[in-house]
Structure 1
Amino acid sequence: MEILFVHPNFPGQFRHFAAALAREPGIRVSGIGDEKWMKDTIPLTDIPVIAYPSPTTASHDTHVYARSFESAVRRGQQVVQTLLTHKRQGLEPDLIIAHPGWGDAFYLKDIFPGTPVIGLFEYYYRTRGADVGFDPEFPMNFDDIFRIHSLNATQLLALESCDAGYCPTAWQHSCFPAHHQMRLNIIHDGIDTNTVAPDTKATITLPDGSIHQTGEEILTFVSRGLEPYRGFHVFMRALPRILKARPHCQVIIVGSDQVSYGKQPAPGQTYRQRYLDEIADQVDQTRIHFSGRLPYHDYLKVLQVSRLHTYMTYPFILSWSMLEAMSAGCLVLASATPPVQEVIMDGENGLLTPFGEPSTLASRAISILADPEQYQHIRHAARQTIVTRYDFNTVSYPAFRQFLKQFEW
């Protein structure tokens, strides 16, 4: 059986699934992705990858509501034009598994009409009741709402272009229209709990040369991009109170200045600098360590040395980092928002705090940092939650394989 994975940043979310399938006898796995997007990714060994030229983005002459859709159409067209060349050379996958969020899956059924296409569906935008308009600091006007509503054109065509699909979490699944939910399974990508595990002897050397180890009073925050969607502004505004009350606390912040979601800051600005400037005269900045993005091994060390890990998010896609923090045995203080509450029960396997209240976040963090021993049972429960519900080998992959059985012959 030949399986083709389609993701502009292959392997992306398919890293574990693709590698596991490739290890099975009788299954050949290949991938296709954007040559520029894949430039900095770590490839999977023994899995051939087709690189397609990066498509041009939508013109500024295109209506602002339609630019995302036009870019998706261009990408979908580039994918099939590239695959047609390989089809003429004999490529005929028995199954295609795609992330269709950028348009990659739009036309796959047209060139492989007999091949089932499965889509990974991460998010369906809502103009009310989820991320849009959630944060009063970033109010939405009607023009924003119309533009956001139009983003779902890509998702709707992607849904029609796939035979079946799956969502990583129940909350993300619930965001899709009811008549589409019936076609979508709930299967998380899974956590490698053997690799992502506690280490009482962990040590991390940060880019600034500072060395930290388990047992120190370390407050951590991780986000791919340091931006409001992941509560970076709330976290930063809590730091003055925390650092004043806890004079030995060190703060490690992992993430880049990239903005993945929501509104961009003003030209030439970053959210990191904006919120650091806001608190600059209230904190000792030598105790705040911005690491940028780290190699995966070093990122795990940050989680392992953490005394308290903070995860904040709008009602949006749940980050792997929160689940990995729990798997690493972190004590997680997280926002009481729906995607988080699907996993964390306050006081049992983690701690919850209102999203938009820096003072409440600070008060809880101060109390926790002062007496970490009383929360050991929560750390253990956090890891057990991930092992029981999200472990790749025992939960996610078996569920995924069972899902695929309906498409094998």
Structure 2
Amino acid sequence: MTRTVLFVHQNFPGQYRHLAPALQARGDRVVAIGGPSSQPLPAIPLHRYDPLPPGGVPPCHPWAADFQTKILRAEAVARCLEALLKEGLRPDLVVGHPGWGELLVVKDLLPAVPVLHQVEFIYQLVGGDVGFDPEFADADWRPLARLRLRRATQLLALQDLDWGLAPTPWQASTVPAPYRQRLSVIHEGIDTAAIAPQGPARLQLQRAGLSFGPGDEVVSFVARNLEPYRGFHTFMRMLPRLQQLRPGAHVVIVGGDGVSYGAAPPGGGSWKEAMLRELGDALDRRRVHFVGRVPHPVLHELFRVTACHVYLTVPFVLSWSLLEAMSCGALVVGSATAPVQDVIEDGRNGLLVDFFDHRALAERLAAVLADPAGHAGLRREARRTVVDGFDLRRVCLPRQLELVDRLMAGSATQDGTAGER
């Protein structure tokens, strides 16, 4: 019997780039509802909703604006789903990300259909990203009040939770304790066959007229956008000391100039501009290369070439780039923060430093650059960590499919261990 799985994600395929095609390939019917920027996958019908109501967005209290945006999305998804149900759609399972409010009223249309939530991160009033970095702490009570209210839709989603799927243990720990018994920890998966050490690797920096290969003193840093949430300020403040210790080292920085999380620097502009102003002549810019955003294959080539990759983050969602760097056999120096410690054990499969200690970061990097052979074992263990725990085909996708099957069979909600790793 053919079963139907409905995906709901404002930026489809999002986290389901592998799961949705795998379900389709094995014979399930797969249908997707997504926002205006969603991208289709082959042979999977995509129905885009318009989150803007016909009469425009009504005025509301500023603190309620985020809630209203999510309610508008919930209503738009409901209208789209209602039309599909009238056309004969009968889902056996709904899979979606509750972060944008899209799943809030799905149960009112499909009360008997299980819903699998992608639980990426629940806002933390203490112990998470907010207030972690004292440089950006705000003594005013209003930002915390706004954060408390932003949790409303997340907590509503948990209340209706059939089952949740979190990518890492620490991200799962952000879920309030009463809901964790309905939660599986399964990462989306890394294609370790394709994202792997491969030779001969070569990185070309055309504007600088430079070419790097394995063995060159290259330090890499990657973030979607260069900002303090991913430790960009700490990384930049480290560079003058590193350049003193290793005068032949070059630094390649990948990332955009926008803001994904947090806020823009005081006075506007980008964090790159702000940090370059702060460092001034203390930094030799000839050895620091900002390359913006690059295609995925180029990023992997950088990971194969780099002598040391730096990954820093406040307590927040773990970036794919860390796991992909490790899968390519890169030696990672990361921040000793909870999301990174889920993956890296200091001295076994990478190195850890205090998020704020830019001097310690420089000295650790210099030690790695001075003795690459002595740190080769960390590279091997880094890749082994990803292959053993995060491989797409052998580990993550089979567990995701098993969890989907158990939910559609009605058994996962009666078994607190369904799909766990």
| TM-score calculated relative to the size of structure 2 | 0.92
Q: Using the TM superposition, give the Cα deviation of residue 176 of structure 1 relative to its aligned residue in structure 2, in angstroms.
A: 1.3
Q: How does 1:2-401 map onto structure 2 within 5 Å?
A: 2-24=4-26, 26-35=27-36, 37-38=37-38, 43-55=40-52, 61-141=59-139, 142-206=141-205, 208=207, 210-266=210-266, 268-401=268-401
Distance in 1 (CA, whole Å) between partners of 2:315 and 2:206 is 32
Paired residue secondary structure (2:129)? coil
Q: Using the TM superposition, give the Cα deviation of residue 210 of structure 1 relative to its aligned residue in structure 2, in angstroms.
A: 3.9
Distance in 1 (CA, whole Å) between partners of 2:323 and 2:390 is 8
Distance in 2 (CA, whole Å) between partners of 1:199 and 1:283 is 33
209-218 vs 371-380, which moves further? 209-218
One-letter code aligned to 1:32 = I
Q: Using the TM superposition, give the Cα deviation of residue 45 of structure 1 relative to its aligned residue in structure 2, in angstroms.
A: 2.2
Distance in 1 (CA, whole Å) between partners of 2:58 and 2:212 is 48
Decide whether the 8 Å contact of 1:207 with 1:291 is kept in 2: no
Distance in 1 (CA, whole Å) between partners of 2:264 and 2:68 is 21
Distance in 1 (CA, whole Å) between partners of 2:226 and 2:35 is 25
One-letter code aligned to 2:78 = V
Describe the superposition over 1:351-399 as per-residue Cα deviations: whole angstroms up to 9, x where unpaired. 0000001111111111111111111001000000111111111111121
Distance in 2 (CA, whole Å) between partners of 1:64 and 1:229 is 24
Q: Using the TM superposition, give the Cα deviation of residue 288 of structure 1 relative to its aligned residue in structure 2, in angstroms.
A: 1.3
Describe the superposition over 1:13-32 as per-residue Cα deviations: whole angstroms up to 9, x where unpaired. 111111222211x2122222
Decide whether the 8 Å contact of 2:349 with 2:382 is kept in 1: yes
Paired residue secondary structure (1:3)? strand
Q: Using the TM superposition, give the Cα deviation of residue 114 of structure 1 relative to its aligned residue in structure 2, in angstroms.
A: 2.7
Moved over 6 A (4+): 56-60
One-letter code aligned to 1:317 = V
Distance in 2 (CA, whole Å) between partners of 1:44 and 1:149 is 36
Describe the superposition over 1:324-376 as per-residue Cα deviations: whole angstroms up to 9, x where unpaired. 11111000000001111111110000000000011111111111111111110
Distance in 1 (CA, whole Å) between partners of 2:167 and 2:61 is 32
Q: Using the TM superposition, give the Cα deviation of residue 59 of structure 1 relative to its aligned residue in structure 2, in angstroms.
A: 6.3
Q: Using the TM superposition, give the Cα deviation of residue 112 of structure 1 relative to its aligned residue in structure 2, in angstroms.
A: 2.2
| TM-score calculated relative to the size of structure 1 | 0.94
Distance in 1 (CA, whole Å) between partners of 2:240 and 2:346 is 25
One-letter code aligned to 2:84 = H
Decide whether the 8 Å contact of 1:108 with 1:161 is kept in 2: no
Q: Using the TM superposition, give the Cα deviation of residue 184 of structure 1 relative to its aligned residue in structure 2, in angstroms.
A: 1.3
Q: Using the TM superposition, give the Cα deviation of residue 148 of structure 1 relative to its aligned residue in structure 2, in angstroms.
A: 1.2
Distance in 1 (CA, whole Å) between partners of 2:18 and 2:306 is 26
Q: Using the TM superposition, give the Cα deviation of residue 90 of structure 1 relative to its aligned residue in structure 2, in angstroms.
A: 1.7
209-218 vs 242-251, which moves further? 209-218
2:415 match: none
**Structure 2 CA distance for partners of 1:325 and 1:174, relative to 1, 3 Å:** same
Describe the superposition over 1:97-135 as per-residue Cα deviations: whole angstroms up to 9, x where unpaired. 001101111111222223211100111111111211110
Distance in 1 (CA, whole Å) between partners of 2:385 and 2:56 is 43
Distance in 2 (CA, whole Å) between partners of 1:302 and 1:30 is 36
Decide whether the 8 Å contact of 1:231 with 1:313 is kept in 2: yes
Q: Using the TM superposition, give the Cα deviation of residue 245 of structure 1 relative to its aligned residue in structure 2, in angstroms.
A: 2.0
**Structure 2 CA distance for partners of 1:309 and 1:148, relative to 1, 3 Å:** same
Distance in 1 (CA, whole Å) between partners of 2:62 and 2:291 is 35
Decide whether the 8 Å contact of 1:64 with 1:147 is kept in 2: no
Paired residue secondary structure (2:291)? strand
Distance in 2 (CA, whole Å) between partners of 1:184 and 1:194 is 28
296-305 vs 109-118, which moves further? 109-118
Q: Using the TM superposition, give the Cα deviation of residue 268 of structure 1 relative to its aligned residue in structure 2, in angstroms.
A: 4.0
Describe the superposition over 1:138-187 as per-residue Cα deviations: whole angstroms up to 9, x where unpaired. 01332111111211111111223332111111111111111011111111
Gaps of 5+ in 2: 410-421
Paired residue secondary structure (1:90)? coil
CA RMSD of aligned residues (A): 1.9
Describe the superposition over 1:281-337 as per-residue Cα deviations: whole angstroms up to 9, x where unpaired. 112212211111111111111111111000000011111111111111000000001
Gaps of 5+ in 1: none
Distance in 2 (CA, whole Å) between partners of 1:103 and 1:377 is 45
Distance in 1 (CA, whole Å) between partners of 2:408 and 2:173 is 28
Distance in 2 (CA, whole Å) between partners of 1:381 and 1:153 is 41
Decide whether the 8 Å contact of 1:347 with 1:378 is kept in 2: yes
Distance in 2 (CA, whole Å) between partners of 1:346 and 1:60 is 52
Question: Aligned pair count?
Answer: 404
**Structure 2 CA distance for partners of 1:298 and 1:115, relative to 1, 3 Å:** same
264-273 vs 372-381, which moves further? 264-273
Paired residue secondary structure (2:11)? coil
